Structure 1
Amino acid sequence: MPHHDSSANNADEPVWVRGDGVDLACHVAGPADAPVLVFVHGYPDNHAVWDRVVAHLAGDYRCIRYDVRGAGASSAPAATRAYRLDHLSADLAAVIEWASPNAPVHVIGHDWGSIQSWDAATDPALAARIASFTSISGPCLDHVGHWLRQQWQRDRAGLFKQLGKSWYVFAFHLPGLPSLLWRAGLGRRWHSIVERMEDSQLPRNPSQANDGARGIALYRANVVARLRAPRARHAQMPVQVIVPERDPFVGPGFVAGLERWVDALTVKTIDAAHWAIQSEAETIAAHCRAFVESNHASLPTAGRGNSHSPTEAARARA
């Protein structure tokens, strides 16, 4: 398949990477020989939601953003099962292999980008490929499953409070209606809804209606299955969790007990709402920079930077 030259770091010109049966639109910024950061966006966003954060980091890091399957310019499989976490993790692994075949990368995820990155970060097969993981407003679904069981025994009031925040998760399982709402007008109004809700402006997204409608499959393919039978998932690398205190969707309670699953855990709390990567981009970037630096310095010399740029890797595989 064709690959576009990203040497000019033009965010409007994607490099196409073959994922797990899909084509992923990747966007590159930053020096070719710098440590690689891979940003994974959430729902119902696309890669552009990271632009403000990347603007603070691209001077020193090779920043890779990509549209996840079903979003932006990337392939959008029709089957709900195609959005399972194992496929999403395989997509992320393909992006990592393309972006930095000879060195581990630092993964930064938000919302569903964080949820799917947790699945990769707790996969022993990817332990050597991810140097660190920063999670923002997106817990591991398996950890949530265990947390729900503990809350039922210890703090049912707290449990019901979080379930109230997550009302939309249940609504997304209604057949047909959520997708219809996105295409009937929610997609056109989403930008203004978020602005009123959080006093923060998202990037204008011409594919917003489709991104919202298709991304519902993320919930349907994964949430019930993982909460019903949560696995024991231990992080394979240092993890930083950034907790926006005013997040209306993801409560801070999910951080409690995370030490059970993460040996090297850093928690940062910030005064922000869900889309902190927009409203507090500089703060998010500063936390990411500090965490990456603290973990990149400990890597072996052979594991720093890239042996060649993503553009060269794309040309080699074209």
Structure 2
Amino acid sequence: MTRETGQVAPRSVPDRTHRVHNGDISLAVYEFGPEDGVPVVLVHGWPDTHHLWDGVVPLLSDRYRVIAYDTRGYGESSAPTPVSAYQLSRLATDFFAVVEAVSPTEPVHVVAHDWGSVQVWEAVCEPGASQYVASFTSISGPNLDHLSTWMRRGVRSGTPRGLWGTLSQCLSSAYTTFFMLPVLPGLFFRLVGTERVWKLFLRLVEGIPAEQISLAPTIKQDMISGLRFYKANILARMFGPRERFTTVPVQLLVNTRDIAVRPAGYDDTARWAERVVRHDLPRGHWLPYSDPAAIAEHADAFIQAQPK
């Protein structure tokens, strides 16, 4: 597997497409690579769809059976109206439904980004998760319970480092306050939620060339619909964190230039997971666009390191 940072293949065309149903939720699922390959599930975040992984898929699908899906609220999947429909507990059932449908006889390896990672964290901390997930590579999406607990510990410590860690994360997360306001954020993204504006934002903030960014035609609707993820979960987890443990092996790809999640926020992960491997990368939040080869290399190495 060769690494060519910044080189992205054209939009990936799935070898197989189908829909997975979780109650009244219908999820669009896309498969790439050999049908008998080891299954690797890719889970996107806000405001993306499965196209987030267009640069990663060709680097993995030559040897793995790669499965990507539009999570609820995005792309071609169902987008229920109630905010409560986007609680992490419900998103985790979507994930398990996809895993059961695409790999009923063996656990899958998972790579997830942003809110995709947040919801997979919810799933892997459920009892019996290791029956479904063989490994989890997490990118720019912490477990919200773990993050809240870490921030609280920083405040209680009274040390400059602890206080600064919490303050810096609060500053990085300030945008979520706007996202949770009524009416206004929806109006904002109706005005500016275009492919051109979003690509310009990513170029200005992270230096990602437009040709490396793969968006769905539903980008505006996805931006607005995805706001429900924030409204359904942020305050609940920040004010009421739970103790959440996992036996699933976890790999953290920590982007040191991430504008949303500070690297120190992952420092306590080993308290909550039996096995954690961490790699700090000098990249911004949207690693799947800026350096898909890094994701493919680390994911491949982590998958190969797991017991067969």
Give the letter aligned to residue 293 of structure 2. Answer: E
In structure 1, what is the equivalent of residue 9 of structure 2?
Answer: none
When normalised by structure 2's length, the TM-score is 0.91
Letter in 1 for 2:128: A
Alignment of 1:182-221 (within 5 A): 182-188=189-195, 189-200=197-208, 201=210, 202-221=213-232
What is the CA–CA distance in structure 2 between the aligned matches of 1:239 and 1:105, rounded to whole Å? 13
2:110 pairs with 107, 111, 121, which one?
107
Give the equivalent residue in structure 1 for 2:185.
178
Q: Distance in 2 between matches of 1:34 and 1:259?
A: 31
Aligned to 1:64: 67
Q: Which residue of 2 aligns with 1:287?
A: 298
TM superposition shift of 1:126: 2.2
Residues 132-281 of structure 1 aligned to structure 2 (within 5 Å) = 132-154=135-157, 155-188=162-195, 189-200=197-208, 201=210, 202-281=213-292
Q: In the alignment, which residue of structure 2 is the partner of 1:126?
A: 129
State the alpha-carbon separation in 1 of the partners of residues 145 and 84 from structure 2.
18
- Percent of counterpart pairs with the same letter? 38
Partner of 2:4: none
Residue 20 of structure 1 and its aligned partner are, at CA, apart by 4.2
**Runs of 4+ off more than 4 Å:** none
TM-score, length-normalised on structure 1?
Answer: 0.88
What are the ranges of 5 or more consecutive residues in structure 1 without an aligned counterpart? 1-8, 300-318
Q: Label 1:93 to 1:14 Cα distance change in 2 as closer, same or farther (>3 A).
A: same
Residue 84 (structure 2) pairs with residue 89 (structure 1): no
- Segments of 5+ residues of structure 2 without an aligned counterpart are 1-11
Tell whether the 8 Å contact from 1:20 to 1:91 is kept in structure 2 after alignment: no
How many residue pairs align between the two structures?
289
Q: 1: distance between equivalents of 2:56 and 2:263? A: 22
Q: Secondary structure at the match of 2:31?
A: strand
Match of 1:316 in 2: none
1:277 CA displacement:
1.2
Whole-angstrom CA distance in 1 between matches of 2:194 and 2:188: 8
